[in-house]
Amino acid sequence: MPRPRVSTRQGTIVGVEVEHGLPQPLEQFLGIPYALSTGGERRFSPPVPVSPVKVFDASHYGQRCPSGSRDATPEGEDCLNLNIFRPKIRDESRKLPVLVYLHGGAFNFGAGNARQIPHLVAWSAEPMIGISFNYRVGAFGFLPSTFMEEEGLLNIGLKDQALLFEWVQQNIAAFGGDPDNVTIMGSSAGAHSVGHHLLHDTHKAPPFKRVILESGAATARAVYAPSNPLHEQQFHEFLQNLNIPSLHTSEILPALRSKTFLEIKAASGAIFEKYNPSVRWPFQPVIDGPGGMIPIAPIAAWKAGSFHRIPILTGFNANEGSIFVPATASKSQEFTGFFRTLLPSLPKDDLVLLNEVYPDPLMGKDEKYKETRRGLGAQFMRLEQAYGHFAYVAPVLQTALFVSSSSPSVSNSASKVEERKETPPVYLYEFALPTNSSLLAYHGSHAPFITHNPEIARLSPTVNQISNVMHAYWASFILTGDPNAVKGKFGDRVVWPRFSADKEDNMVVFGEGNTEFIGRGDKGDVVKVTSDEEVRKECEYWMERTELFEI
């Protein structure tokens, strides 16, 4: 069988056909490099575009970037590569919409092949092209400190992503894709990344037309300056772990680059593990100043109106915090201590108020956070809700609120900013289906529903229908910018309303009341339209204090 071949600026890319387990055959091109190897003198440096080759065999995934992930894919520093999936049967005269997926993993883990993008493409009612890729994570991609700031080497992983977007603009037409119809989609850290790109280089048109942010945003968690004491402490401990003594500044980078990637990986993982229990994760994006990827605090950019006005689909899961907080937390002091450690910039009076916003279930005044499940501490539900709101839900709502209330963009021929006669549409969702009896609708549990993974479809007819409609909404948004426009086999699905803060019914909820995963058998709702009023009220505490976590 002849293999698919595509001629690009980079050379001839030779892929393979795949059909097993998919509703239609795809052509896939795997492990295509978009930058040179990041080892040696290029370690910790911005990515360098790849040199052309005559023929590239794209039949296997390339190396993934070093991280703590347990994955069978080989890893190494020649890891900046991408994967392209397109329908085998297509109208070659038509340029197809393009999806670019940014993986999550706390900026410390993950790889492009972690999500089933082939399934998302193959199940789409209309043809599209899907792309996944790797970017540097952990200390390799994010090593904030005053030293690295002085070296101009901050937010390297975000710069990898930006170079990938350039590669797509220059090459995707050769694969049948439309470079003017690109959607970027991220989950968790991938969504935080999408949020940063949404606020970046707003004086010119972005290399994407619309965005999807799942459980993430530019204001998620904390975005500090590189000189923040926590970053300085973690950088010092990272050097100590590598047995790099106090050196003259001119000697630090050569010493770091002299280590093997396995030594760097081990040190990066050790520092992550030390701080993971308190969720004060190391190796994160930081505010890098004028000309950088995050030139000012994200909340300041939102308030200044400095963001790309394009269609957005965004949302959160009902139990975002459950996989991150201690399941055995039983005393109110543990709740307060968790946030005192995580957010030292939170004033004492605000900590007192936090205990009123999320009342102690042991006090008997409010049943909302009462924990009755066996094996879980009395403070677990209270703690996971508060952390989930802080880290994910409130930032998602901020994105929806700022974009939906923004004034339309104006035409600017010099920067080719698209003129919009109306505020760009925003579509907000909540994923509420509990897929684990302890963690419930936990962070990331929505992902296989969107890509229509086979293990989800086999569980029950109702769960399969939830996956059907979620995939249909996402695919329609990728294709058109409207989750309702492409009907396909599920054209009778509920109309997803545009989000507006002053509308009563302004979002959708998936899977509420379904308990089939956790053995109770209730079917619940596939999807229903509701209001964000209750969750927005719960998140006001965090949205009013974002500036405290961006210093």
Q: What is the pLDDT along the chain (551 residues), one digit of tens a residue?
A: 789 999 999 999 999 999 988 999 999 999 999 999 999 999 999 999 999 999 999 999 999 999 976 666 799 999 999 999 999 988 888 999 999 999 999 999 999 998 999 999 999 999 999 999 999 999 999 999 999 999 999 999 999 999 999 999 999 999 999 999 999 999 999 999 999 999 999 999 999 999 999 999 999 999 999 999 999 999 999 999 999 987 788 899 999 999 999 999 999 999 999 999 999 999 999 999 999 999 999 999 999 999 999 999 999 999 999 999 999 999 999 999 999 999 999 999 999 999 999 999 998 777 889 999 999 999 999 999 999 999 999 999 999 999 999 876 543 333 344 445 579 999 999 999 999 999 999 999 999 999 999 999 888 999 999 999 999 999 999 999 999 999 999 999 999 999 999 999 999 999 999 999 998 889 999 999 999 999 999 999 999 999 999 98
Domain identity same for 498 and 389: yes
Q: Are 198 and 220 spatial neighbours (Cβ–Cβ below 8 Å)?
A: no
Q: Are 181 and 78 in a shared domain?
A: yes
- Are 470 and 510 in contact by the 8 Å Cβ rule? The answer is yes
Sole residue written with tokens 């104006």? 410
Task: List all residues 6 or more positions away from 125 whose beta carbon is below 8 Å from its beta carbon.
Answer: 472, 475, 476, 486, 487, 488, 489
Do residue 233 and residue 366 come from a single domain? no
- On whether the CB atoms of residues 137 and 67 are closer than 8 A, the answer is yes
Angstrom distance (rounded) from CA 365 to CA 384: 19
The residue type found at 63 is Q
User: What pLDDT does residue 92 have?
Assistant: 85
Verify that 262 and 380 share a domain, yes or no: no
**Angstrom distance (rounded) from CA 476 to CA 292:** 33
Task: State residue 3 phi and psi, 5-degree precision.
Answer: -85, 145
Indicate whether 367 and 482 sit together in one domain: yes
Q: Is residue 426 part of a domain?
A: yes
Which two tokens mark 46? 């911005």
Q: What is the identity of the amino acid at 89?
A: I
In a domain, 215, yes or no: no
- What is residue 93's predicted lDDT score, i.e. its pLDDT? 87
- The residue among 283, 301, 333 that closes a domain is 283
Residues 443 and 487 both lie in one domain: yes
Strand partners, 96: 177
299 residue type, one letter: I
Q: What is the pLDDT of residue 411?
A: 38
Write down the pLDDT at residue 418: 47
pTM above 0.85, yes or no: yes
Question: Tokens 């030779």, residue?
Answer: 14
Q: What angle do CA 461, 507, 399 make, to 5 degrees?
A: 125
Instruction: Indicate if 242 and 338 belong to the same structural domain.
Output: no
Q: What is residue 359's predicted lDDT score, i.e. its pLDDT?
A: 95
Strands of 5-8's sheet in order across: 5-8, 11-14, 55-57
Domain annotation covers residue 213: no
DSSP 451: T
Determine the pLDDT at residue 72: 67
> At a CB cut-off of 8 Å and minimum separation 6, what does 352 contact?
none
Residue 333 sits in the same domain as residue 256: no
| Integer CA distances (angstroms), 141 to 79, 148, 241, 302, in order | 12, 12, 18, 25
The CATH code of the domain that includes 167 is 3.40.50.1820
Burial label for 344, CB within 10 Å (0-12, 13-18, 19+), is: exposed
The one-letter amino acid at 78: D
Helix (H, G, I), strand (E, B), or coil: what is residue 183? strand
pLDDT at 420: 53
Q: Are residues 338 and 248 in the same domain?
A: no
CA atoms of 272 and 138, how far apart (whole Å): 8
Residue 99 shares a structural domain with residue 152: yes
CA 101 to each of CA 19, 116, 267: distance values in angstroms, whole numbers, following the listed order:
21, 10, 28
Query: Looking at residue 248, what is its pLDDT?
Result: 81
Domain termination site, one of 262, 283, 304 = 283
Angle, alpha carbons 476-418-214 (nearest 5°): 40
Q: Do residues 318 and 439 lie in contact, with contact meaning Cβ atoms separated by under 8 Å?
A: no
Give CA–CA dist 441/347, Å, rounded.
Answer: 31
CB atoms within 10 A of CB 60: 10
- The amino acid present at 163, given as its one-letter code, is L
How many folded domains does the chain comprise? 2
Residue 476: inside a domain: yes
Residue 300 lies in a domain: no
Give residue 410's pLDDT.
46
| Residue 520 falls inside a structural domain | yes
Q: Are 43 and 256 in contact (CB under 8 A)?
A: yes
Closest CA to 252 of 135, 146, 137, 142: 146
Structure tokens at 27: 């052509």
Residues 176 and 275: beta-carbon distance below 8 Å: no
pLDDT at residue 409, as a whole number: 56
- Helices of type H across 390-515: 394-404, 447-450, 454-457, 461-480
Q: Starting at the earlier edge strand, list the strands of the sheet with 96-102.
A: 16-18, 26-33, 81-87, 129-133, 96-102, 177-187, 210-214, 312-317, 426-431, 507-510, 527-530
Does 324 reside within a domain?
A: yes
Q: What share of the chain is helix, strand, coil (3-state, %, to 5)?
A: 35, 15, 50
- Tokens, residue 333: 């002091």
pLDDT of residue 70: 66
Which residues are tagged catalytic?
188, 320
Q: How far is it, in rounded angstroms, from Cα 299 to Cα 256?
A: 34
- In three-state secondary structure terms, 115 is coil
Look at residue 203 and tell me if it is in a domain.
no
Q: Residue 336: which domain range?
A: 315-549
Burial-class residue 211 by CB neighbours within 10 Å (0-12, 13-18, 19+): buried
Residue 356 burial by Cβ neighbours in a 10 Å radius (0-12, 13-18, 19+): exposed
Strands (E), 104-169: 129-133
30 and 80 in a common domain: yes
Residue 258 shares a structural domain with residue 350: no
The answer to whether the Cα torsion of 221, 146, 105, 508 is positive or negative is positive
Nearest to 405 by CA among 315, 485, 530, 302: 302
